[in-house]
Amino acid sequence: MAMMKGACVVMLWAGATFAQNSTAAIAATGTNFTLTAEGMSYLFHVDTDSGDLVSDHFGGPTTDFTPPANILPWGWNDELSNFRREFPDVGRSDFRLPAIHIEHADGDTVSAFRYRSHDITQGKPSIPGLPATYGGDGDVTTLIVQLYDNVSDVSAALSYSVFPKYNAIARSFSITNHGSTNGSGAIVIEQAHSFSTDFPHVDLEMIEPHGDWSHEFQTVRRKIDYGETSFGSKAGYASHQHNPFFALVSPSTTESSGEAWGFNLVWTGSFEATAEKFSNGYVRVLLGLNSLHTSIRVEPGETFQAPEAVAVYSSEGVGGLSRSFHDLYRSHLSRSKFTKETRPILLNSWEGLGFDINETSLVNLAGEAEELGIELFVNDDGWFGVEYPRNNDSLGLGDWTPNPAKFPNGLAPYVQAVNNFTVLNASKPLQFGIWVEPEMVNPNSTLYREHPDWVLRAGKHQRTLTRNQLVLNVGLPEVQDFIIGFVSRILDSANIQYVKWDNNRGMHELSHPSDDYDYILGLYRVIDNLTTRYPNVLWEGCASGGGRFDPGLLHYWPQHWTSDNTDAANRLTIQMGTSLVYPPSAMGCHISATPNGLTNRNISIEYRGHVALMCGSFGLELNPSELSPEEASAVPSIMAQAERVNPVVITGSFFRLAHPDKSNWPGVQFVSHDGSQAVVFAFQQQYVVKPAPPPLRLAGLDPRARYSNDLDNSTYSGATYMNGGLNIAWPRGDYQSKLIWLAKV
């Protein structure tokens, strides 16, 4: 690892005006820093008078430092309020929100972080105990700027890692308390925003996800106006209501053109996101821990570590932004060996059997699954609990021993019986997977009887039940060891190849705001341990659907259940929204029974299949014996399509062609990694007499190459598909769909 220290002139590239690849990613001229990607520059410098870090540029490629806007330095907001700042602290004349807010040992909350030194290194150091992007010397370059507050004897290390291929920058910081070690010198971190930068006076709009259970990832676009535009989660997790992601765009930006900046926090706990437009028009962007769940005490000699935030710039609209995140996350965030592998087609027992399970009924269901071409059979809730058998959701959670009445011989022979089925038309055994919800406990359980002090609680306040359950305090080492212990025992007890890790409620009573931070660090310790020890297990996250679809968990687990809402029409909007930042290859999507249990809507199995096929982990969540004859006869062709589509979804590029909120004829497209083929999913929501459906204009093709299609069995140029588009002859009826293949000829 080449390390260049200090305030000398460091030119890492050979002659080029801006970088062609990552070896040219970071340059320091004096203390002027230029971070360069293939289509993006990020510039900031040290103000030599104050020692403050000043933002210069984040956007398309630039090569020079230019003087800042000339702002009249009079009035109440003089000095720092008129600087564009990289790491704003509290006090000292900046009246905007800070990136860092510390209560010092003596009780004051003013900080004065001044530049001290910097290092530039190839590659990217990992962040101990936290999920983060990663990459080798050729992929990423890192700049660490050391700052010091000489009044409080506190230092900050601010880290920037640039991934040139993806126009991406990962940022984080740590704070070290060098103060007195006599016990009275603790500081308290009250606010920590991992990403902070100040845009100049330009018009911006924010695109942000919002939603609820079964209604995840709806999106809203609104103008950034004077004051604060903000949202966040206080649920202890990323939550269904919001996600630690937002994009800023120019007012003219569309799906396929214009400037867009995306920000995503690699964190599973409470967060907050803010764009603050000040009187001078500057827009401060902040993304970090939610300050209601911070107040983190740092003793003398200790260091606080903020999670990482990732920012991506695109000059190719919101779609370009999404594709950079997808590619970055598949290659440099998610570390599972399955991330770039096709996933087995699964059937989950929940919709079919619910809690009413035993070895016999499950093996029968597995047999029916086998006849459909299923490759992985998943046993959902209900299999555990001895003193408190898990026959419904009021008891047993926490007691992770197979129920002896349901599984008289334990899991091993049952799993063997499942494995004894051979996947249809293949010579491989049917795989087995299991459901767990390790972070929770029912008061009706042996675990709670023995360890009532293991749950999150606040003194004498009542412990609020949700779904009859309480949250274990995963910040406690003994709880972490308990989870590591029982999950390992289950995985060692039988041939289990998949785990669905569920989490079904928010955190209510915290004894201290920082319990959330400690909990999430504890959770990462547990998951890091288990995924390291069981790398061949396919792990899927779930939190009543997409409540924890966040990049922190995606670091360890390759996939997440997208929503408990499996109505295919609703799912289209939810999956499109999720794809703003997370790759479709990481989404779990299943065909469920009709009419839909949640919406009572009837949608054909073809349409339901097409929506579910758009995701990396495809499966069925229904009782095969309840399929109608028409549905049963459609299943083989859907299964055959799944085999063909999945590799393109896993490694290809994703394009949103038309959004269901804006068009009655939504569509998406994947282009295979090598560009040789593309698959289009097109939908008609309602049948209408007039107007005519618009042509479906494709994307991401080589304009000069020619591609055959299986819609009208013709061959056209990429330019024709992209500029002219395909006219689909939609049949009468609501909820129609088409799957169209293109092949380069």
Residue 384, classed as helix, strand or coil, is strand
Q: State in angstroms the smallest separation of the CB of 264 from ligand NAG.
A: 25
> Which one, 371 or 661, has the nearer CB to ligand NAG?
371
> Which one, 561 or 716, has the nearer CB to ligand NAG?
716
Choose the binding region for ligand NAG from 33-41, 156-164, 199-207, 594-602 (rule: CB under 6 A): 594-602
Binding mask 286-305 for ligand NAG (x = CB under 6 A): --------------------
Residues in CB range of 670: below 8 A, 6 or more apart: 584, 645, 648, 649, 652, 653, 654, 655, 678, 679
Binding-site member from 331, 361, 715, 717 for ligand NAG (CB under 6 A): 361
Token readout for 333 is 């965030």
* β-bridge mates for residue 188, sequence order: 103, 297
Identify residues 49-68 at the interface with ligand NAG (CB under 6 A): 65
> Which one, 29 or 331, has the nearer CB to ligand NAG?
29
Q: State in angstroms the smallest separation of the CB of 43 from ligand NAG.
A: 9
Binding-site member from 4, 29, 178, 741 for ligand NAG (CB under 6 A): 29
Binding-site member from 602, 686, 723, 727 for ligand NAG (CB under 6 A): 602
Residue 633 binds ligand NAG, judged by CB under 6 A:
no
Residues in CB range of 454: below 8 A, 6 or more apart: 441, 447, 448, 472, 473, 476, 478, 479, 482
Binding-site member from 14, 689, 692, 745 for ligand NAG (CB under 6 A): 14
Residue 22, classed as helix, strand or coil, is helix
The residue behind tokens 């910081």 is: 173
Give the start-end residues of each E strand in 387-496. Answer: 431-436, 440-441, 470-471
Does the annotation place 542 within a ligand binding site?
Answer: yes
Q: State in angstroms the smallest separation of the CB of 416 from ligand NAG.
A: 5
Helical spans, DSSP H, in 652-733: 718-719
Residue 4 binds ligand NAG, judged by CB under 6 A:
no
Instruction: Let me know: does 395 contact 385? Beta carbons within 8 Å.
Output: yes
Which of these, 514, 498, 516, 497, lies nearest to 506 by C-alpha position?
Answer: 516
Report CA-CA distances (Å) from 627 to 349, 424, 622, 634.
15, 18, 8, 10
CA dihedral of residues 446, 448, 452, 456 (deg, nearest 10): 160
Binding mask 67-106 for ligand NAG (x = CB under 6 A): --------------------------------------x-
**Could you give the count of Cα atoms lying within 13 Å of 724 in the half-sphere of its Cβ?**
10
Q: State in angstroms the smallest separation of the CB of 415 from ligand NAG.
A: 9
**Burial of residue 440, with CB atoms counted within 10 A of its CB: 0-12 exposed, 13-18 middle, 19 or more buried:** buried
Distance in angstroms (rounded) separating the CA atoms of residues 716 and 620 = 36
Distance in angstroms (rounded) separating the CA atoms of residues 405 and 227 = 61
What radius of gyration, in Å, describes the C-alpha atoms of the chain?
Answer: 27
Residue 364 binds ligand NAG, judged by CB under 6 A:
no
Does the annotation place 665 within a ligand binding site?
Answer: no
Residue 453 binds ligand NAG, judged by CB under 6 A:
no
Q: State in angstroms the smallest separation of the CB of 681 from ligand NAG.
A: 18
Does the annotation place 473 within a ligand binding site?
Answer: no
Q: What are phi and psi of 723, to 5 degrees?
A: -95, -35
Instruction: Let me know: does 54 contact 85? Beta carbons within 8 Å.
Output: yes
Instruction: Let me know: does 178 contact 186? Beta carbons within 8 Å.
Output: no
> Which one, 191 or 403, has the nearer CB to ligand NAG?
403
**Could you give the count of Cα atoms lying within 13 Å of 51 in the half-sphere of its Cβ?**
16
Binding-site member from 146, 295, 331, 468 for ligand NAG (CB under 6 A): 468
Does the annotation place 381 within a ligand binding site?
Answer: yes
Binding-site member from 2, 11, 110, 151 for ligand NAG (CB under 6 A): 151
Residue 599 binds ligand NAG, judged by CB under 6 A:
no
Instruction: Let me know: does 260 contact 321? Beta carbons within 8 Å.
Output: yes
Identify residues 540-579 at the interface with ligand NAG (CB under 6 A): none
Residue 331 binds ligand NAG, judged by CB under 6 A:
no
Token readout for 344 is 């087995």
Does the annotation place 213 within a ligand binding site?
Answer: yes
Residue 369, classed as helix, strand or coil, is helix
Residue 484 binds ligand NAG, judged by CB under 6 A:
yes
Active site residues per annotation: 502, 564
Does the annotation place 70 within a ligand binding site?
Answer: no
Binding mask 398-437 for ligand NAG (x = CB under 6 A): ---------------x--xx--x---xx------------
Q: What are phi and psi of 314, to 5 degrees?
A: -135, 135
Residue 634 binds ligand NAG, judged by CB under 6 A:
no
Distance in angstroms (rounded) separating the CA atoms of residues 6 and 11 = 13
> Which one, 323 or 406, has the nearer CB to ligand NAG?
406
Distance in angstroms (rounded) separating the CA atoms of residues 329 and 556 = 11
Binding-site member from 123, 433, 443, 652 for ligand NAG (CB under 6 A): 443
Identify residues 176-215 at the interface with ligand NAG (CB under 6 A): 180, 182, 184-185
Q: State in angstroms the smallest separation of the CB of 305 from ligand NAG.
A: 19
Distance of CA 81 to the CA centre of its chain: 33
Residue list for the binding site: 213, 380-381, 467, 500-504, 542, 564
Residue list for the binding site for substrate: 213, 380-381, 467, 500-504, 542, 564
Contacting positions for ligand NAG (CB under 6 A): 14, 20-21, 23, 29-30, 32, 45, 65, 105, 138, 150-151, 180, 182, 184-185, 356, 358, 360-361, 373, 389, 391-392, 394-395, 413, 416-417, 420, 424-425, 442-444, 468, 481, 484, 529, 532-533, 595, 600, 602, 636, 639-640, 710, 712-713
